[in-house]
Amino acid sequence: MSQEKTAIQVTHLTKSFGQVKAIDSVSFAVQSGQIVGFLGPNGAGKSTTMRILCGLLEASSGEAKICGISVASHPAETKRRIGYMPERNPLPEDMRVIEYLRYRARLKEIPRKHIKPAVEEAMALCDLNRKASRRIIGTLSKGYRQRVGIADAVLGSPEIIIMDEPTIGLDPHQILGIRRLINTLRGKMTVMISSHILPEIEMCCDRVIIINHGRIVAHGSSASLRKSFLPKTTYRLAVKAASAEMESILTGMQETLSLVSHQDDIDGYRKYFVETSDDADIVEFLIAKLTERRCAIREIARLEPNLEDIFMAATKRSWDETHTPSIQPETSTADI
């Protein structure tokens, strides 16, 4: 079996603006056909990295390759392989959708005889071919404007699609439509998406790359990142038992169990959050033990950490590692 083709390869990529490093020795790879989420807080370096990949910004050092071709050495060639949708997509307000896409097709050097079918294919993929193709862009909703931007990005079937915040400012129904659209690209094109809407990334993406303070702090599938950053499993219990009694019960159950927190009573039931390093599901075990102690049970639920939990844990760890205060020597009164 042949190895997967690497679509994007970034090695020790650094970009400085004066004394400030927007990205600092960033390295990662994206395999062909994958949909990858690129996450990070505001100012983390997401847009800077994407602009370098698209040849719109020159790196200070390091290397970026698109389909094995150096972006710095062959910018024109790599741009032909990328469809890019910036965060604030500049669309002409006075052009019709079909006119704009035909204009963009010519700029992308699509041969004249292929422009019509290429535009029709992009509009069909983005559901613009029925109602919106003849509409003036300035009259479109935010959701349809985003679809026009994605249609522009996929126009000509480039090997790689890079989208910066494609769902920003959309309502839930519009987000669902964009998510479905992105899912149709899986396996056909390599897609890299930057977004602040973490549930959308988790639903769309095969892998996640998290950047913080200009450095990659985590990368992998959601499952592998859960094991790395949130190795313990949390359970939520609603039980008629005092906190001291619950601590006594848990102590007698398993050494790995620990009471993390609890909330006030609701109709006599107190809500507890329990952690364990045991990956096995222990719901039945908890029910049996609590029943033995004659504790009334309203709820026991295993809580699966989502991407937001992973994101917070990864960025917090990187913050703690880079902002650990140095130990200063003690100052004697003689030094004052």
pLDDT value of position 44: 85
**Domain count for the chain:** 2
Q: Which residues of 254-264 are buried (b: 16+ CB within 10 A; e: fewer)?
A: beebebeebee
Q: 27: which 2 tokens?
A: 């390295």
Backbone phi, then psi, for 292, in 5-degree steps? -60, -35
- Parent domain of 254: 231-304
Specify whether 201 is located in the same domain as 239.
Answer: no
Specify whether 195 is located in the same domain as 243.
Answer: no
Highest mean pLDDT out of 79-83, 210-214, 226-230, 231-235: 79-83
Asked if 137 contacts 97 with a C-beta cutoff of 8 angstroms, the reply is: yes
Specify whether 57 is located in the same domain as 180.
Answer: yes
Helix 142-154, helix 172-183: angle, nearest 10: 10
- Domain for residue 323, yes or no? no
- Cβ neighbourhood burial of 224 (10 Å; 0-12, 13-18, 19+): middle
Backbone phi, then psi, for 162, in 5-degree steps? -120, 120
Backbone phi, then psi, for 46, in 5-degree steps? -65, -55
Specify whether 166 is located in the same domain as 41.
Answer: yes
Q: Does residue 195 register a pLDDT over 60?
A: yes
Position 26, amino acid? V
- Domain for residue 221, yes or no? yes
Element (H, E) at 65: strand 61-66
Banded model confidence at residue 305, pLDDT cuts 50, 70, 90 = confident
Specify whether 129 is located in the same domain as 258.
Answer: no
Q: What is the CATH number of the domain that holds 296?
A: 3.30.70.100
CA-based max dimension of the chain: 86
| Predicted TM-score of the model (pTM) | 0.78
Specify whether 13 is located in the same domain as 117.
Answer: yes
Specify whether 179 is located in the same domain as 252.
Answer: no
Specify whether 299 is located in the same domain as 165.
Answer: no
Specify whether 180 is located in the same domain as 37.
Answer: yes
Specify whether 186 is located in the same domain as 250.
Answer: no
Q: 285: which 2 tokens?
A: 């075990």
Specify whether 82 is located in the same domain as 97.
Answer: yes
Q: What is the CATH number of the domain that holds 65?
A: 3.40.50.300
Asked if 222 contacts 37 with a C-beta cutoff of 8 angstroms, the reply is: no
Q: Note the pLDDT tens digit of each residue in 236-252.
A: 889 888 878 777 777 77
At 19 the three-state DSSP class reads coil
- Domain for residue 179, yes or no? yes
- Domain for residue 312, yes or no? no
Banded model confidence at residue 10, pLDDT cuts 50, 70, 90 = very high
- Domain for residue 262, yes or no? yes
